[in-house]
Amino acid sequence: MAAAASALTTLTEDELLFQSTVRRFAREQIAPYSREMDEAGVFRKDIIRQFFDLGLMAIEIPEEYGGAEGSFFQAVLAVEELSAVDPSAGVIVDVQNTIVNNAILRWASAEQKQRYLPRLAADTVACYALSEAGSGSDAFALATRAEDRGDHYELTGRKLWITNAAEADLFLLFANINPEAGYRGITAFLIEREFPGFSVGKKENKLGLRASSTCELILDRCRVPKANVVGEAGKGYKIAIETLNEGRIAIGAQMIGLARGALDHAIGYAKQRKQFGKAISEFQGVQFQLARMATEIEAARLLVYNAARLRDAGRPFLTEAAMAKYYASEIAEKAASQAIEIFGGVGITKEYPVEKLYRDAKIGRIYEGTSNIQLLTIAKQLLTR
């Protein structure tokens, strides 16, 4: 492994064992199919089944519900290791654990936990539905409405760019029950795929993360029982904000995994590619490129690990999460680009893995809060001290 060792010293023996198990699984079970899944734009169902079998879809869910009862930090490790092989795999596990499972654990009622957590641990893929055509960075400008019909709500609207939607059977979805109240009308709902009036629409044909599904959701007077409101009605904005803050740490982990994968490929190729009678890894110019990549990746990893540790310790982590997501996504794109340069002309062909990582890296600076939004968050925290 090309990554520096210093960050690994912060891991416990149990975490190191977990990390190595996920790494071996990713290399043996996902890597052989990564290119095939990317070209088909479909993630293999048998690999998702293995995610459940290994407990990777229920890392923080308590054992009483069938989960692994692990830590947020372990979820971050899993996302990193999967993403070093295929970032599409990383984001599937990320959304399930750090956003949906986390939100249910923190805000769902006892009955909701009993009903949904065992399913999420066993076989049910979930997704998080906040974004709409008119609400991206301005997440609270959502237009999806929820009207009170007595014993249920009736939801109407469309959601866009929803990760895991093609595979999901459970959707943590946000709608406004009182538009006049602005963001204070936003409410979180748990919606099952078979609810009347709910459907999954068009699947996006994307530049990167092609094996990870991204679809629109259509709500046509969708009937949702009041028992499926998560937390308090009108308090969904709090759930949305806090889950995204945590999810950004995992996106940082996805990006450092991607960057590490790019570096590993670049090192391997530099050692075997010969020019002017010797391996290009013997040229100082290439050595300097690799050294800079490794240093920047290590710095990004430490930012991500620090934010994850703070979260597990119950300490404030908003600024650290924004820094981790911002920097890791910048470094991932840079590392993937430099890896292509080390490969030279063949680097842009689909015969080699680095062009895929370059495509996959671009979304890191956009989803779960653009780089500008992260910078804004950091600046606000600095200026209010």
Per cent of the chain over pLDDT 90 is 95
How confident is the model at residue 9, as a pLDDT?
52
**Averaged confidence pLDDT in the chain:** 96
CATH number of the domain residue 322 falls in: 1.20.140.10
Q: How sure is the predictor about 154, in pLDDT bands with cuts at 50, 70 and 90?
A: very high
Q: What's the whole-number mean pLDDT along residues 214-238?
A: 97
Residues 379 and 254 in one domain: yes
Residues 93 and 109 in one domain: yes
SS3 at position 385: coil
Residues 181 and 207 in one domain: yes
Residues 114 and 198 in one domain: no
- Please identify, among 172, 199, 234, the residue that sits at the C-terminal boundary of a domain: 234
Contacts of 93 (CB under 8 A, 6+ apart): 51, 56, 57, 75, 78, 79, 82
Considering the candidates 154, 167, 333, 368, report the single residue annotated as catalytic: 368
Residues 248 and 378 in one domain: yes
Q: What's the whole-number mean pLDDT along residues 247-275?
A: 98
Residues 211 and 184 in one domain: yes
Residues 205 and 103 in one domain: no
Q: Which of 57-71, 135-149, 234-248 has the lowest mean pLDDT?
A: 135-149
Q: How sure is the predictor about 385, in pLDDT bands with cuts at 50, 70 and 90?
A: confident
CA angle, residues 229, 230, 236, in degrees to nearest 5: 100
CATH number of the domain residue 68 falls in: 1.10.540.10
Measured from the Cβ of residue 45, the count of other Cβ atoms closer than 10 Å reads 10
- Please identify, among 66, 99, 125, the residue that sits at the C-terminal boundary of a domain: 125
Contacts of 10 (CB under 8 A, 6+ apart): 305, 309
How confident is the model at residue 377, as a pLDDT?
96
Position 1 in a domain = no
Which pLDDT tens digit goes with each residue over 80-100? 999 999 999 999 999 999 999
Residues 373 and 263 in one domain: yes
Q: What's the whole-number mean pLDDT along residues 203-218?
A: 98
How confident is the model at residue 138, as a pLDDT?
87
Residues 140 and 154 in one domain: yes
| Full DSSP string of 36-76 | HHHHHT---HHHHHHHHHTTTT-SSS-GGGTS----HHHHH
Q: Domain range spanning residue 69?
A: 6-125
Which pLDDT tens digit goes with each residue over 277-325? 999 999 999 999 999 999 999 999 999 999 999 999 999 999 999 999 9
CA 333 centroid distance within chain:
16
What does DSSP assign to residue 216?
E
The verdict on whether 368 is a catalytic residue reads yes
- Please identify, among 125, 142, 165, the residue that sits at the C-terminal boundary of a domain: 125
Q: How many domains does the chain have?
A: 3
Residue corresponding to tokens 């679809």: 215
Residues 261 and 359 in one domain: yes
Checking if the pLDDT of 2 tops 70, the result is no
CATH number of the domain residue 132 falls in: 2.40.110.10
